[in-house]
Amino acid sequence: MHTSLEDIESACRIVYSNMQATPQYCWPLLCERLGTEVWVKHENHTVVGAFKIRGGLVYFDHLSKSAGMVQGVISATRGNHGQSVGYGARRYGIRATVVVPHGNSVEKNDAMRALGVELIEHGDDFQAAREHAESLAGKRSLHMVPSFHPLLIAGVATYSLELLRAVRDVDIVYVPIGLGSGICGMLAARDALGVKAEIVGVVSSHAPAYAESFSAGRSIDSPVTTRLADGIACRTPEPAALDLILKGVERIVQVTDDEVAAAMRMLFECTHNASEGAGAAAVAAAAKEKSLIAGRKVAVVLSGGNVDREVFASVLGSR
């Protein structure tokens, strides 16, 4: 699987016809806290509050031009991918069904319904929801929108292209890993531009499938117990994503829910931006590796800000 600069720039034209590029800011107080120059890529500033919208726009643009236009689509999500599907489907007049696990974010569910999505709750984690969506796709003759696909990678790689063109000579980029499109997009943009930045993946210690698979050099399933970082709550690695990660990622850092909560507080205190758990994971990893990154130019991807109000209030009120 190869994503070229031409692929990413083509995706940019689709993305920018629907939304503006997001900013990357170097916040002085955050730099002080982390002890080095740190740039935040603000994917919490997209039209749905997360980076996934970029891939959805590209995927649905191509789907709308394919022979035998589909009448309905289905997918599975913990929330941000589902908003991307809902937004893209509404943009092209397609019915969308999304399966989420029980106990999913209330406000992410509400946001998907507001986009016209038929929401179905099934299973206890993303993998169970995805398997149910695949089953329903066959029964209802719906097009299954994957969570990992070359078009999704090209779409989400547009944020990486923005970041790496705006912040020259960055040494390290920390990227959260859910199913893998975001970090694979970062790898594609880095390689397409010929820059030398180290790409460091970040996972939850309570959903360590990608970290364990990276260490073993093969896919390993692992239980998901994270209470806070639902956007990176992956039980089963995507084989194509793992292959790219094994080839191009420097290392994978695991962060606990407590470390993620501390990073959410840090982001709010230093930048007054709201971040969901997965969105703060990159900052948590940078804080964990503070001694390693000293004196280096660092970028962190704030991948989403879609955190439920009660969850965020609890995080901000704790120490």
- Of the pLDDT bands very low, low, confident and very high (cuts 50, 70, 90), residue 95 is very high
Q: Which of 35-39, 67-71, 143-147, 180-184 has the lowest mean pLDDT?
A: 67-71
Taking residues 114-138, report their average pLDDT. 94
Taking residues 4-23, report their average pLDDT. 97
Taking residues 143-168, report their average pLDDT. 96
Q: How far apart are CA 158 and CA 236, in angstroms?
A: 26
Sheet of strand 143-144: strand arrangement:
118-121, 95-100, 72-76, 143-144
pLDDT tens for 198-223 read 999 999 999 999 999 999 999 999 99
Q: Residue written as tokens 């962190």?
A: 300
Q: How far apart are CA 126 and CA 232, in angstroms?
A: 10
39, 163 Cβ separation under 8 angstroms: yes
Taking residues 37-64, report their average pLDDT. 96
Q: How far apart are CA 156 and CA 175, in angstroms?
A: 12
At 86, the amino acid letter reads G
Sheet of strand 172-176: strand arrangement:
24-25, 37-42, 297-302, 172-176, 198-204, 251-255
List of domains in the chain: 5-50+150-317 (3.40.50.1100), 52-144 (3.40.50.1100)
Burial environment of residue 102 by CB neighbours within 10 A (0 to 12, 13 to 18, 19 or more): exposed
Helix (H, G, I), strand (E, B) or coil at 189: helix
The pLDDT value recorded for residue 71 is: 81
Q: What is the mean pLDDT of the chain?
A: 96
